[in-house]
Amino acid sequence: MDPETSKSGKNKFQMKHALIGLFCLLTLVLCYLVTSPTEAASRLQASNEAARQVHLISSNSASEKWTRLGELGRHAPLGSMLLQDANPVAQPPGSVLGFFQRMGDSSWSTGLHESRYAYDLIESVHVWALCLFFGLAVLFDFRLLGWTMRSVPVSEVARRLLPWTVVGFVIMVISGTLLFSAIPLRSYQNIFFRAKMIMLLLAGLNVWIFHSGIYKRVDTWDLAERAPKAARVAGALSLVLWVCIVLSGRMIAYNWFDCDRQPQPAIINFLTSCVPTQAER
């Protein structure tokens, strides 16, 4: 075995260990999140209860809404009540909406939603991993388009940087799932969330087509002045898709098209599977 291959074998070995370490760390963080926010939630519940009382008394203009919430609060735990604010109508059991509603009612979800720091921390991790994943993936796209690192073989950029994008992607998916589980029903019905998921599928398809197609023959164009058209198209598509995914991901936070903001155009209600109540129409 020549020294070069044995060296890259060793790197693979280290990479594997780094990945295992990362998974262990994430599991520990997950365990912590499961146990601790519930405690924080119970503390918050007490303070929120007090805040709600104040609202019930003081906000006359919105009194109807708050009374309605107060009614709900007698039967449901406070956390779920706050989450149902966006969609107070009970969803039929067995439906997808009902599934996410029950998910939102779980102590896991309410704990995460109401904890002082857990949600913010997970969101920070999500943003940090964006640099690792999006930043390096985009650099690879730039390389395919010939905008940077032209003297470095494409296969080498792929071999040395793409494993890091995999690490970044794993962190993104885990933190993203946690963020979703904190506000499941609203996220599921959010138009930007839906667009993001569809574009994620398309981006995955693009990666698959690239790696099973033109990249198989990479040794024929590794240092070419201009990468073949198929590779450039894949790079450009990936670039556009990931940019749109980041943009729509950021927009999930805004409620322009949320179900509780009726009236909305029929097309929006169709795309977000919202069924406005008679009063809202």
Residues that bind another protein (CB under 8 A): 120, 123-124, 127-128, 130-132, 134-139, 142, 148-149, 151-152, 156-157, 160-161, 164, 243, 246-247, 250-251, 253-254, 256
Burial class of residue 121 in the structure, from the number of CB atoms within 10 Å of its CB (0-12 exposed, 13-18 middle, 19+ buried): middle
**Minimum CB distance to another protein, residue 185 (Å):** 22
The Cβ of residue 130 has, within 10 Å, a number of other Cβ atoms equal to 18
Q: Which is nearer to another protein, 161 or 230 (CB)?
A: 161
Q: Which is nearer to another protein, 97 or 158 (CB)?
A: 158
Token reading at 237: 């598509």
CB-based contact 274:264 (threshold 8 Å): yes
**Minimum CB distance to another protein, residue 129 (Å):** 10
CB-based contact 92:19 (threshold 8 Å): no
CB-based contact 38:111 (threshold 8 Å): yes
**Minimum CB distance to another protein, residue 116 (Å):** 10
Task: Compute the Cα dihedral for 221, 226, 228, 232 and give only its sign.
Answer: positive
**Minimum CB distance to another protein, residue 71 (Å):** 30
For the chain, how far is it from start to end, CA to CA, in angstroms?
A: 73
Collapse the DSSP code of 213 into the 3-class scheme (helix H, G, I; strand E, B; otherwise coil) and give the result. Answer: coil
**Minimum CB distance to another protein, residue 81 (Å):** 23
